[in-house]
Chains A and B, each alone.
Chain A
Amino acid sequence: MVIENKPQKDVFWKALIFTAVIFLLGVFMGYVLEEKRLNDVQEEFEQLIIDWGDVRTQAAYYQTLGDDPAVCERAVDENLNFGDRIYYSGLRLEEYEEANRLTDRLQFEKQKHNMLRTEFYINSLVLREKCDAQYDVVVYFYMDNAGDFDLDLNARQNVLSVVLEDLKEQKGPELVLIPLAANMDISVVNILLDTYGVEEFPSLLLLSDSGYEVVSGVQGVGDIEPLLSPF
């Protein structure tokens, strides 16, 4: 008895289709996941915008309607609370962006965040002056996405972020921390960089009672603290 078997060539195109289905399913799932993250970020941003409107209105109310210290105090508190919210929202945005691989639509959201943080910076300065509030403002200028290719810059920025987080934890409401991306082509940020002569990154602009100071590169908590106001 002679048995004859032919090779099962049909399995090749079946395997190709199966692989394509798995691949497309993976891409689809990844896309859905990234869309969900984008929606979360957008929803959070919408809420931030509403909160920001409230904060700004309070500041305007104080500026236009008088010197009531209670209003001033509330405006400062709300501003500080908003600062915390936008700071943590920014961290989450960074985390999501790191995980996203298929779309770069979060970049647009980052630009909107950066713009909002710039407005927050100005509001913080205005309230500090008008209400004689007891806090220092630290602006952290960094390069967005540049660390993907420059590991050294990436490491310096990461370490400085950790240092600033420690500092913020230590100082609480005495410190307003505002990270601003220097390379998003936002004109107010460019003006700030020119005004204070910031050319290296990462850099810190420290605005205290005694004026301002710009420090560049990695700093420890112990290096920054003496440059701030002793509240």
Chain B
Amino acid sequence: MSSLFLILFFKNRNLMDDPRKATRFPTLSVLIPAWNEGETIADTIRAVLDSDYPQDKIEIIAINDGSTDNTLAEMKKFGNKIKIFDKPNSGKADSMNQAMKLAKHEYLAVIDADSYPVKNALRDMVAYLEEKDVVAVTSAILVKNRKKLIEKMQAIEYAVIAWSRKLLQYIEGIYVAPGPLSIYHKKSFISYGGFDTNNLTEDIEATWKILSHNKKVRIDLRAKVYTTAPSKFRVWWKQRLRWNLGGFQTMWKYKKLFFNPSYGMMGLFVVPFFIFTFALSLLGFMVFAFVLVRNLTKTYLLSSYAGAADTGFLRLDYLNFNPNVFAFFAAILVFLGLLYLVFSQRYIEKTKILPRSYPIFAIYLLIYLTLYPLVLIHTLYRMISGKKLRW
């Protein structure tokens, strides 16, 4: 996969900052679903109102999905600048499906209630809708809060994801138009069935639905949206668990498309890519766990016998610094990982890489990424145990 991404990058690096402009501005219904988002909803609505998209072509529908906090009160402060759809709690996907029926305009822009699009986001994104067969356009999602270590890790991760997603566009491989900001062609999307109310990641499922109709999804890197990333490990874990469970649900639903050429790149790339990523992640974790358990057992036995013999077993001259073939491959992987980070920071965040960033990169590569398989294990456990999550 690393080779694929690098080749895609070097082939398309001059196209990544695609300067295309819209020749017309279609009407947009902006849906902002919210459940207990009293702290952030006002800023999200304000970001849309501040957008440079022709305001006469936008309707904002703020959806209060049975919040128990001050979300509704915050929405009401905007008066008649927005429409409020206040309803009993039924989940994000169902809320959006219901709101779609109230939407009057040609396109639907979906924005999470804790995300803040930049001024030019909507104006730039609609340019992609002029491309043949494009039904959805997504944006570069970046992290707003970057103070804590876990937030910094996610900031790097989101930039890497945005960069990779742009590259996937060149092989019709964008597998998700995520909730923080995506635009859908309303008529087509409703005809495909809208959002799946049984799926935990309705955005992934919606994208797969579009792709399975041989339609296209695009990403505009100029359209940045800053979202609030989890600041606590527990919340982060729960979010990832939901993403993985939703991913599995989606894979299961579309399993028949696996290597099915009738569905184009969806069948030949997206579904296999998803399945192999999960499988390789699990396999990698199992190998890692085996080596770890083996070494821990070895250390325990060594320390026990060394104690019995009244000697030490940890000696510097026992460390083997002779490189082997695996060390070469590991070095290549770390190098590619670093390249990823550097390119994603340069192309997405548009920032210079300072030496002080490298320790953070190291933590990201060597610690943060190793958490992925652990979440995956938990996901499998949850799938087997059948416990449910809510949004």
Closest to A94 in B: B320
Q: Contact flags (1/0) for B324-340 with A, using CB distance below 8 Å?
A: 11101100100000000
Cross-chain contact B311 with A1 (CB below 8 angstroms): no
Cross-chain contact A152 with B301 (CB below 8 angstroms): yes
Assess A2 versus B308: contact at CB under 8 Å? Given A37-B322, A155-B302.
no
Given A3-B130, A5-B131, A155-B304, 18 other A-B contacts at CB below 8 A? Answer: A2-B130, A11-B7, A11-B8, A15-B3, A16-B3, A18-B3, A26-B328, A27-B325, A29-B328, A34-B324, A96-B322, A99-B323, A101-B326, A155-B301, A155-B302, A162-B311, A218-B305, A220-B311
Cross-chain contact A160 with B309 (CB below 8 angstroms): yes
Interface set, chain A 122-163, CB cutoff 8 A to B: 151-152, 154-156, 158-160, 162-163
Contacts of B170 in A (CB 8 A): 7-8, 11
Contacts of A7 in B (CB 8 A): 170-173, 264-265
Q: How large is the interface on B (under 10, 10 to 19, 20 to 34, 35 or more residues)?
A: 35 or more
Q: Contact flags (1/0) for A73-115 with B, using CB distance below 8 Å?
A: 0000000000000000000000110111110000000000000
Cross-chain contact A4 with B309 (CB below 8 angstroms): no
Cross-chain contact A8 with B309 (CB below 8 angstroms): no
Q: How large is the interface on A (under 10, 10 to 19, 20 to 34, 35 or more residues)?
A: 35 or more
Contacts of A166 in B (CB 8 A): 311
Return 5 A-B CB contacts under 8 Å, by A number: A2-B130, A7-B264, A22-B3, A33-B323, A218-B308
Closest to A30 in B: B325
Q: Which A residues are closer than 8 A to B by beta carbons?
A: 1-5, 7-9, 11-12, 14-16, 18-19, 22, 26-27, 29-31, 33-34, 37, 95-96, 98-102, 151-152, 154-156, 158-160, 162-163, 166, 218-223
Complex alpha-carbon distance, A7 and B297, angstroms: 50
B353 at the interface (CB under 8 A from A): no
Q: How far is the CB of B150 from chain A (nearest CB, A)?
A: 33
Complex alpha-carbon distance, A24 and B310, angstroms: 47
Interface set, chain B 332-351, CB cutoff 8 A to A: 332
Choice from B305, B323, B326 contacting A155 with Cβ under 8 Å: B305
B313 at the interface (CB under 8 A from A): yes
